[in-house]
A and B are shown apart, each in its own frame.
Chain A
Amino acid sequence: MTTLTDLTIADAQAGLAKGDFSARELAEAHIRATEAGRPLNAMITETGDRAVAAAEAADDRRKKGEGLGPLDGIPVAVKDLFCTEGVLTTAGSHILDGFTPPYESTVTANLWRSGAGMLGKTNLDEFAMGSSNMTSYHGPVHNPWRRQGDNQPLVPGGSSGGSAAAVAARMCLGALGTDTGGSIRQPASFCGIVGMKPTYGRCSRWGIVAFASSLDQAGPFTRTVRDAAIMLNGMAGHDPKDSTSVDMTVPDFAAALSGDIRGLKVGIPAEYRVDGMSAEIEALWQQGIDWLRDAGAEPVEISLPHTKYALPTYYIIAPAEASSNLARYDGVKYGLRVEGSDLNDMYAKTRGEGFGDEVRRRVLIGTYVLSAGYYDAYYLKAQRVRTLIARDFTQAFENVDVILTPTTPSAAFAVGEKMDDPVAMYLNDVFTVPVNLAGLPGISVPAGLSEGGLPLGLQVIGKAFDEATMLRAADVIERAAAFTARPAFIAGEAA
């Protein structure tokens, strides 16, 4: 029998249906993998008992012929940014010390209703602010991959670094992340797995610790495009508790993976050929274009003229929204409190001690750009440029069905690198941030290896609420790439 931890979600479901193994056996294999994977520091809290309880319920249902479908009995991990009832939720921050939500986020509740079980809560950059997982109060996560002939630990990317590392190391079959500027797609690319950010509004944000509300969106990490489609179906849907979640039919995403992209128009944005792009990224991108053309699609040169302004726009809007959202951490309602001489002093001391360096930087930038006298020059200007960035995409999508780009400008870097220059770290998200600003869906698919033997991803961007076409193109890339390389460390096999 195949190692249970090496299965895809789709194959695991087929195995459960045939009775090759029980959901309980599947959960237990992953609990052992989670324990074996501890050196990666991918999980902040392990919840094996919940995974077992969900698996037993799934086995009971199956015996009675009442199975719930593709996610019934599937063990997954959850970024520790989703509130989970009765389970510690940290957002990777000191300031939420001991916070145990009395409620469940809508997206996780949807997954549990589909029969999935929770193996644990995964590590992340503090409040999802970062591209390396280095800013977590709970310590850095190590990427299960290593450069060839080099044992230096690498970052898994961020902010959803724990979720990406856990899926890549076979600690879980899938995991939840959130993506505000690339926090699902960049770590997926760094860890050689699939990561999808759905359209803004596709999944409810209710119960997810807010970073930048107009950009945040939940999405899945998986090892195949089909599994991503299955996970999204388990997560998505209208929620009256999030006024920005849309009330529209959720299609069967897995059914869209026909493998047929004949006549599909694939936009290739000229502005993504940034200065200094490495030859291997350029070659990978060209390879992706060739794969899609060979499958019958038509590559079309397009222009997204405001691309270069996306990052600076993002670094006004996201910190501004963050400074407002994070005002709630004041030592009164939950988490850390540091006593002070009076109420204001208590606020300042609590926030001074509770926030890490990157969060402090962003809250200060956000406070500054929203402050009297600067609001128009920074925030309003950024919101106007954002309109132009979104318009670029709208105009491009009049002529194409999807857009193909690299996911990241480089492969994973070493733990500790790029920490002394915030702007150099921000540049990691140059290809992913525009998608968030425009509210579009994007997916990263592992497509090749760097010279050093590290995974590199290609990004497919879809039209708003047309994840189905985006997934169909991504599935074709996955088939053509036939990416079978495996990370140096696999927890599932060590188990």
Chain B
Amino acid sequence: MSLDKSTVARIANLARIEVPESDLEPLAGELSSILTWIEQLSEVDVEGVQPMTSVAPMNLKQREDEVTDGGRAADVVANAPETVDGYFLVPKVIE
């Protein structure tokens, strides 16, 4: 599998990572070599094999649906770059 520059730019946009134009070509090369190496999985026959969904065979525990924590707005926003009145502040999104 070989990725071109425009595909890398598209993935980078999906991942919301700004990639400088000059990095696109080398990244396309690196990602392509990783994907080519991964391609060897195509030789494995997985007919009728279920995908793994749980590492340790166990049932998820149930608990009462009740409040066990909360009232920590100040803690929640304590590390934010910008806040106002207990809210996260971001650049304006609606005109």
Residues of B within 8 A of A385 (CB): 41, 44, 46, 49
**Which A-chain residue is minimally distant from B55 (CB atoms)?**
A439
Residues of B within 8 A of A315 (CB): 34, 37-38
Residues of A within 8 A of B34 (CB): 315, 361, 365, 422-423
Shortest B51–chain A CB gap in Å is 3
Complex A-B: 16 CB contacts under 8 Å: A240-B61, A243-B60, A309-B40, A333-B80, A337-B81, A337-B82, A351-B15, A361-B34, A364-B27, A367-B15, A368-B3, A368-B7, A368-B31, A382-B41, A423-B33, A438-B55
Shortest B46–chain A CB gap in Å is 4
B31 adjacent to A365 (CB under 8 Å): yes
Contact mask for chain B residues 31-61; partner A; CB cutoff 8 A; 1 contact, 0 none: 1011101111110101001111101101011
- The stretch among A98-106, A186-194, A406-414, A450-458 that forms the contact with chain B is A98-106
Residues of B within 8 A of A381 (CB): 41-42, 44, 46
Is B67 an interface position by the 8 A CB rule?
Answer: no
Residues of B within 8 A of A340 (CB): 91
Is A398 an interface position by the 8 A CB rule?
Answer: no
Residues of A within 8 A of B14 (CB): 367, 371
- Knowing A247-B61, A367-B15, A423-B37, the reply to whether A343 touches B49 (Cβ < 8 A) is no
Residues of B within 8 A of A388 (CB): 44, 46, 49
B15 adjacent to A378 (CB under 8 Å): no
Is A259 an interface position by the 8 A CB rule?
Answer: no
Shortest A328–chain B CB gap in Å is 12
A201 adjacent to B56 (CB under 8 Å): yes
A348 adjacent to B44 (CB under 8 Å): no
A383 adjacent to B53 (CB under 8 Å): yes
B51 adjacent to A243 (CB under 8 Å): no
How many chain B residues sit at the interface, stated as a range, is 35 or more
Q: Which of B8, B41, B92 has the most CB of A within 10 A?
A: B41
B41 adjacent to A312 (CB under 8 Å): yes
B8 adjacent to A364 (CB under 8 Å): yes
B31 adjacent to A343 (CB under 8 Å): no
A333 to B80, alpha carbons, bound, how many Å?
A: 5
How many chain A residues sit at the interface, stated as a range, is 35 or more
Is A306 an interface position by the 8 A CB rule?
Answer: yes
19 more contacts with CB within 8 A, not counting A215-B55, A423-B33, are A100-B78, A102-B72, A102-B79, A200-B55, A246-B56, A308-B40, A309-B41, A332-B88, A334-B79, A340-B91, A348-B17, A349-B18, A361-B34, A363-B15, A364-B17, A364-B27, A365-B35, A385-B46, A422-B34
A residues contacting B by CB (< 8 A) are: 98-103, 199-201, 214-215, 240, 243-244, 246-247, 306, 308-309, 312-313, 315-316, 323, 327, 330-337, 339-349, 351-353, 355, 360-361, 363-365, 367-368, 371, 378, 380-388, 390, 422-423, 438-439, 464-465
Residues of B within 8 A of A335 (CB): 79, 81
Shortest A238–chain B CB gap in Å is 9
Shortest B72–chain A CB gap in Å is 7
- Knowing A364-B8, A364-B17, the reply to whether A386 touches B52 (Cβ < 8 A) is yes
B18 adjacent to A313 (CB under 8 Å): no
A330 adjacent to B16 (CB under 8 Å): yes
Contact of A422 among B7, B33, B56, B81 (CB under 8 A): B33
B33 adjacent to A332 (CB under 8 Å): no
A421 to B46, alpha carbons, bound, how many Å?
A: 30
A309 adjacent to B44 (CB under 8 Å): yes
A438 to B51, alpha carbons, bound, how many Å?
A: 13
**Which B-chain residue is minimally distant from A316 (CB atoms)?**
B38
Shortest A7–chain B CB gap in Å is 35
